[in-house]
Structure 1
């Protein structure tokens, strides 16, 4: 019963996000234009559950290259409003658009001629009327069976905040190196600062076979190393190609006898590779650009030295530092 209820909650919340996606239009681009033109900061404000969501959105914006600060509406009316400059932009969050504490702040922001972007579920609300642009986060229903606790609505609002952050990241051409600079003390920041040679898998951990090996040898190596791919090298150790688990499945579905499958013919030649002297951040950028999860590491003449897996860069596997 509990599992069925949990699945229903997740279904309802996913429906909410899809509804917000379907309602997305030109107002999103306008919001991006306003934020991009802002010479100072994006001030995020909201109270209650919306305030908690706002704090997370603000933190994500800061991590991804958009200067942001969170302002509590009540504290704002007791002096913290002084932190808001006329050059700022305010992102105000209230699902109903009629939150009393937030509404009291709106007139003060208008007096300062601060542009307001609203995240709300009621486009005819007081908040929406004060805003220069409104991002509609209305959801069909809350996951709470009483329809009282914010559930689907807060999830949708949080997702909209992520959409803003990622779209801004893209416009600003924010890179992995920039992310690293914003996280000098974080575990991911530390991972991305080291050289590829410090984090790559080498030796017996590298899934590799020779170019003249039979197809079955590739399958065995793929299963043994469990990294989703096998590299092909020649007799001098030079990297020739790569075969992924997807390639293996396609070969097996061809209807040929396993002894007839030509591994060399099925491999992808000249795979994407990186030098061990470059940074882990560079490797992550290459993986993102090519939408791959494994990356070959080669020396100056193209000999295979090791392999990088996305999970190692993001900390989901073993990550080894040289001290």
Structure 2
């Protein structure tokens, strides 16, 4: 497995996003299946694992704590605070005392003395970012966390946070069909020497050749049912992009999923995609992307084929968009 850098850590070029083992994508897999998947990722050389207090309202951290404890010195463990489950509801709360309490709870569930990378999951717009980052800086000084990350924030917010304490990583969605980081955040990360962690690199299944009809294939509680791009009319138009996409994958003899991940890996050494999966065969397939080398002409063809102008539907619905701070493309009148 190739290596890339986050702060002082050397991590696998691909990380494993663990959310869907406990949260948001319908019925979670059985504990035995989730355990087997995590161990298989380790066998492939993946040493960067991403979780959050929110995922399964603590269940995902408990899963990783139980499975990864024997391998703790071999892995880089990332979790998140600032968005948690309270009385069965998702709550965004960036107050310093809440972040510190969440960290203590996460340390217990993860069965570790220190979290390697601790993200502010969402910026609580009622709390100055400086106050939230100040609390995380206190946790660094106390030896509870080793480095600080941000999730779903804009370039100006990254700079404000970085002025309080060095930010090791910024995480947001980035794939061929979600190009918002290209507006300003990628440049800010390069400027400040911040690693960019790309979640949902496979476009939430769109680029894997496995999701043809969301209405029939997605469970009732799958979060994609609330996303405009997966609505029937929009998704039908988006599917029209895939014929040429599959042709490109065939030309370079890789799978569609490998092509999506290879595109991200080719975008810069400071970018680390974290994919999520529940199936061993998909894990094996995704790991194969590190061997796929794309020349500039292929990257340009993909850039032209699937982008913010050719994809139909916004990334999030209006209510969710209000909760995040990422830049958005202007919609032509």
TM-score, scaled to structure 2: 0.25
Structure number with larger C-alpha Rg: 1
**Using CA pairs below 8 Å that are at least 6 residues apart, which structure has the higher relative contact order?**
2
TM-score, scaled to structure 1: 0.26
